[in-house]
Homo-oligomer: A and B are copies of this chain.
Amino acid sequence: MAQKPSIPKGTRDFNAEEVAKRSYIMETIKEQFQIFGFQPIETPSFENSETLMGKYGDEGDRLIFKILNSGDYFKEIKHKLSEAGVIVVDFYKAMDVIINKLADINSENYNTRIKQFILESNIDNNRSSDRILSFFIDYKDDIINILQNNENKVRETLFVFYYTAYLMDSDILDSKKASSLISEKALRYDLTVPFARYVVQHQNDIEFPFKRYQMQPVWRADRPQKGRFREFYQCDADVVGSKSLFQEVEFVQLYDAVFSALKLEGVTIKINNRKILSGIAEVIGAQDKLIDFTVALDKLDKIGEEKVKEEMRGKGISEDGITKLQPLFTLKGDFGDQIESLKSILSTSEIGLKGIEELEFINTAISNLKLKTATLQLDVTLARGLNYYTGAIFEVSVPEGVKMGSIGGGGRYDDLTSIFGKPDTSGVGISFGLDRIYLVLEELNLFPSTIAESTKVLFINFGDKEALFSLGAVTKLRQANVKAELFPDAAVSGKQMKKQMNYANRRNIPFVVIMGEEELKSEVFTLKNMVSGEQQKLEFNALLNVLK
C-alpha cells in the first residue's frame, strides 16, 4: 500500500489528550447520572434492520448505515435476476410474434392486439406473460415509437429498452428496495430506539419506573461538516413508566448538576411544553398548521416580529389568529410573568391551560429547590422534535458570549415503546451533546490543568545493569500508584542521553531520574525537575515522597 493511510470521512482518531478530555466529560456526566439514581445499560452497535428502519422517517432511514450480509449475500438478488432471465426468453418469443404483425398495430388497437399476440406466442408461464403484457402496456408510447421508427433494428432496440426500463429499473436492483435482500443488520442511529427495544424485550426483568443512562457511539451517513460527524457519542438519561412531573423537575436539576460539576456555569435550560404549542394553534384556529406555525415562531429572535407575521400569513394563518398571538411577540419578564401572559392567550384552550399548569409545577419546584449555576427559562418558541414529544421540551444553551448551538436537549414522549408492542409507557429523557460540550470547555479553558498529565517520571536508561536496577525502583513507584517509566533503550552516548531527555520533554513528563554507574554504586537517585532544571540526589523513600 503506497498511499498514505487515512480514515473514512466524518470519522476521527483521538489522541491521548483528546481521549482524556472526552473521558473527563463523560465521567462527570456518568457520576451525576448515578448520583441521581440512573442505571447504565449497553446495547449492541448493530440492531436487526427491522428494529431501526421506519422509526426516523424517510430521511433517517436514508442515513442509517447498513451492514452487508456475510457469505453469499447476492444469492437472493441472483435468484430474482435469474427468474428474470427466463422472462427474457419469453420476451423474445412474444417479440417475434409482435414484430411479424407490426402492420396490424396502431395506437388505437394497441392494447387489444398486443394482448392477443402475447397469447399467440404460446408462453408457458402465466406470470411471465403477465409481466410482459404489463411492460407493453406501461410503456405503450415509447414502444409504439420504437416499433414505428427503427426499421431493421426493432428487435435490438426493443430488447435493450425492455432490459433497461423494465429489468434494470425494477425493484430487483433498486438500492432502496433491495437493501433488505442483502443486509439484515444496521448500525444504531441513536440510543432512543434501541432503548425502547430493550425495554420491551426485557420488560419482565425491569422494575418500573426504569431510570437508565446510556453512553455509546451512534452512526449516521450524514454529509460530514464542521462539528457534524458520522460516528459520535450520545449520552442519554431517560425514565420510563411514570407520568410524574417530578421527573421533569429532576432533569432540570440534573442538567444543573452536570454543568456545575463541569464548571460550565451560567447555562440556560430552556423549557417549553408541546401542549402550549397545541393550545396556541387551537386558539388561532390553526391546529392543522402546528408545524408551519412553530417553524415561523422559532425565527422570532432572528427575523423579528414583522417578518414572522408575514410568514404566518403566507402559511394561511388568519389575520384574526395573528392578532390573538400579539402578546406572544412581547412576552416579557421572568418565568412567572410570561406564564401570566400565556394564561390570557390560552384562556379558552383546555390543552393549553394543561401545559401551563405543568410548566408552573416545574417552575415552582425549581424555584423552591434552587439551581446551583444554571437558569431555567421559559421559551415558547422551543419546538425541537415536535412530532415526538408530547409534554415538556428541554434545550440547553451555552453561557452568553460563546457561539454554539444547544449542548443538550430532551423532553417527554408518551408512547415510545408502542412501536415494539408495549403501549402506554410514558417516558421522559434528556441528552448531552458531548462534542459541543468539548468545544465549549476548550474555548472557555475549563478542562482541569491536570488532564494532560500522564507519566510523572522517566528513568533514563544507561545500560542493562543500571536499567534493571532502575526498573526495580520503577516497579516500587508503580505499586505506590506513581506513573513511572523506564526508557527502553540504553543511552551509550551523551547524545543518546540527550535524546531521552528530549523524549521526556516532548511528552510533558515533569521529572526524570538519572541512574548512572555512580548512582548505582551509592544507590541514590538523581532526580531532575524538567521545568525548573533543578536536580537533587535522593534515596528511594525520599524520591517516592517527591513523586507521590
Residues of A in contact with B (beta carbons under 8 Å apart): 1-2, 4-8, 11-16, 18-20, 23, 34-37, 39-48, 50-51, 62-63, 65-68, 70-75, 77-78, 81-82, 85-86, 88-89, 92, 155-156, 159-160, 163-164, 167-168, 173-175, 178-179, 182-185, 187, 197-198, 200-202, 205, 207, 209, 211-212, 217, 219, 221, 231, 239, 242-244, 246-247, 249-250, 253, 257, 365, 368-369, 419-421, 454-455, 461, 467-468, 471-472, 475, 478, 481-490, 503, 506-507
B48 touches A8 (CB 8 A): yes
Contact partner of A475 (CB less than 8 A), chosen from B34, B167, B369, is B369
Return chain B residues, CB-CB under 8 Å to A246. Answer: 461, 467, 471, 486, 488
Complex Cα gap A2–B418 (Å): 10
How far is it, in angstroms, between the C-alpha of A454 and the C-alpha of B485 when the chains are bound? 37
Q: Are A41 and B13 in contact (CB under 8 A)?
A: yes
| Given contact pairs A7-B201, A34-B483, A244-B488, a sample of 7 additional A-B residue pairs in the complex whose CB atoms are under 8 Å apart | A2-B421, A5-B200, A37-B455, A46-B219, A65-B70, A74-B178, A88-B163
- Tell whether, in the assembled complex, residue B249 and residue A159 are in contact, meaning their CB atoms are under 8 Å apart: no
Q: How far is the CA of A455 from the CA of B37 in the complex (A)?
A: 5
Contact in complex: B173, A78 (CB < 8 Å): yes
Known pairs A173-B77, A369-B475; A48 contacts B7 (CB<8 A): yes
| Cα of A250 to Cα of B487 in the assembled complex, Å | 11
Asked whether B68 lies within 8 Å of A41 as measured between CB atoms, the reply is no
Known: A66-B67, A421-B4, A468-B368. A13 touches B160 (CB 8 A): no
Q: Given A65-B70, A202-B13, A247-B488, do A8 and B88 touch, yes or no (CB 8 Å)?
A: no
Q: How far is A47 from B34 in the complex, measured between Cα atoms in Å? A: 34
Evaluate contact between B81 and A44: CB separation under 8 angstroms. Answer: no
Residues of B within 8 A of A468 (CB): 365, 368-369
Closest-by-CB residue of B relative to A63 is B70
Point out the residues of chain B lying under 8 angstroms from A174, CB to CB: 74
The answer to whether residues A66 and B68 also contact, given A39-B454, A488-B242 and a CB cut-off of 8 A, is yes
**Minimal Cβ-Cβ distance residue in B for A370:** B475
Of the candidates B1, B71, B81, B478, the one whose C-beta lies within 8 Å of that of A36 is: B478
